[in-house]
Amino acid sequence: MKKENKYKKDKKEALKFHNEVVQEKLEINSKDSVGYKEYKRTSFFTWYEWIIVIFLPWILFGLIVLICWAAGDIKYAEYTLLLIGLLIIFIWLIMSWRSHKHASEYYNDTRRKYSKVYDADSGLNRKIRIITLVIGVVLALSSLIVFFGM
């Protein structure tokens, strides 16, 4: 009489449970077009988000130049703008890395290889990453304005 291995039995049960959970998610994703509509709604910019994208870097630029001018040396504004711009770009890199890591974990399962990830969270993350990148690049490039202009 062969004795059954407890480890193998637990592993088979865990694998069966995982397959059931993945299958449920696949059925929900394939049947639901509401997720795509929600993704589109959250990933595209509205008018007030365009205002944020356009004016926030220049408000930050004005505040940094004003603070450095009040401190006495306007040349520090160039370094401060460049440092803050590069810091924001670094934050964008970390956010993008997290997003790509999440996508690679999602698509690691071969059954989800060609399915799309359309949910509100990924649309919102995409929008936040774009805003962060634009603000960082504008601040980093505005340090050139201070360098050549003053």
Is 4 part of a structural domain of the chain? Answer: no
Is 132 part of a structural domain of the chain? Answer: yes
**DSSP H stretches of helix in 44-119:** 47-71, 75-107
Model-level pTM? 0.69
pLDDT tens for 10-66 read 888 888 888 888 777 766 555 555 667 777 888 888 888 889 888 999 998 889 888
Q: How many CB atoms lie within 10 A of CB 120?
A: 14
Q: What pLDDT does 137 receive?
A: 92
* Most confident of the following: 12-16, 20-24, 90-94, 123-127: 90-94
Is 24 part of a structural domain of the chain? Answer: no
Q: What pLDDT does 103 receive?
A: 75
Q: What pLDDT does 4 receive?
A: 67
Question: Which has more pLDDT, 143 or 4?
Answer: 143
Whether 68 contacts 77, CB under 8 Å? yes
The tokens describing 139, both together, are 């601040």
Rounded-to-integer distance, Cα 147 and Cα 55, Å? 21
Domain count, the chain: 1
Q: CB within 8 A of 41, min separation 6: which ones? A: 120, 123
Asked if pLDDT for residue 110 goes beyond 80, the answer is no
Q: Quote the distance between the C-alpha of residue 35 and its chain's center.
A: 18
Q: Which domain holds residue 140?
A: 32-149
**Cα dihedral 51, 54, 58, 63 sign:** positive
Is 14 part of a structural domain of the chain? Answer: no
Q: How many CB atoms lie within 10 A of CB 92?
A: 20
